[in-house]
Homo-oligomer: A and B are copies of this chain.
Amino acid sequence: MSSAAPQVGQLTVIGLGPGATDWMTPAVKLALELAQDIVGYTTYVTLAGPFRPEQRLLDSDNRCELERARLALELAAQGRRVVVVSSGDPGVFAMAAAVLEALEQAADPTWHEVELTIEPGISAAHATAARVGAPLGHDFCVISLSDNLKPWALIVRRLELAAQADFVIALYNPSSKARPWQLAQALEVLRQQRAPTTPVILGHDVGRTAERVTVTTLAEIEPEQVDMRTIVIIGSSQTRQFPRWDGATWVYTPRWYPAE
């Protein structure tokens, strides 16, 4: 009698999108329905619900992403159908990279046999951009201002080079209680190369009930307007703004760029 092959499970790393269910893809909804175990940061797992009683919620406020990734891989290796929840897109400063890192380091060969899928979501930068028009309509870059996992000097250098390249710049993790001064310094770097009138968009909790979108300028933005749940988009030299009939502001970056 041959022994049965080990029953290896599935792990799907999903992006909820910014939070509104009408921005969540059918593929992500299906993964949530099929999941036996739901792993993630409590805020995102709550957004992903409601769940059925037999679905096991393994959420926590723990910010150790690698530990969470290992838990999910271990459960899937045991044969469970597991979902890891990220907000926005799971591949952008979120759980997909942590799961891949945990998998690469895994000694247990069963982890490598897990049926692993990454399910993309609407990223917070694209959602914020959509609210005000099309500020990411031309070449752009996406930078996390968090220096928890990379040196601050690297972030400053990237900001300087991105400004020289005249990219539109989307900033993730711009500020937190533990990182109170970084945004002000980043804005100083950008102000040395971009006009004071450069449009700046602040997208707070876009797609959720507390959504608040502000259009300001590089001269006028105050770091106090920004928290951890805000995406900051800084225009290029070409980014334009004009009034909406309702008093708000449209912002877009033209598809073309003038010859020098």
Contacts and interface: CB of A to CB of B under 8 A. Distances in A.
Given A26-B22, A161-B161, A150 B256 contact: yes
Contacts of A151: 257, 259-260
Contact of A240 (B93, B104, B167, B254): B104
Contacts of A135: 91
Contact size class for A? 35 or more
Interface in A137-170: 137-144, 149-151, 153-154, 157-158, 161-162, 164-167
Given A23-B25, A151-B260, A255-B65, A120 B122 contact: yes
Given A122-B122, A141-B142, A161-B161, A257 B134 contact: no
A133 B96 contact: yes
Contacts of A150: 138, 256-257
This chain's copy number in the assembly: 2
Contacts of A228: none
A23 B120 contact: yes
Contacts of A141: 139-142, 162, 165, 167
Contacts of A153: 260
A104 B253 CA distance: 12
Interface in A111-137: 112-113, 118-123, 126-127, 129-131, 133-137
Contacts of A93: 137-138, 255
A24 interface: yes
Interface of A: 17, 20-27, 30, 65, 89-94, 96-101, 103-104, 112-113, 118-123, 126-127, 129-131, 133-144, 149-151, 153-154, 157-158, 161-162, 164-167, 240, 242, 244-245, 250, 252-257, 259-260
Q: Which 5 A-B pairs give the minimum distances between C-beta atoms?
A: A97-B137, A150-B257, A141-B141, A100-B252, A96-B134
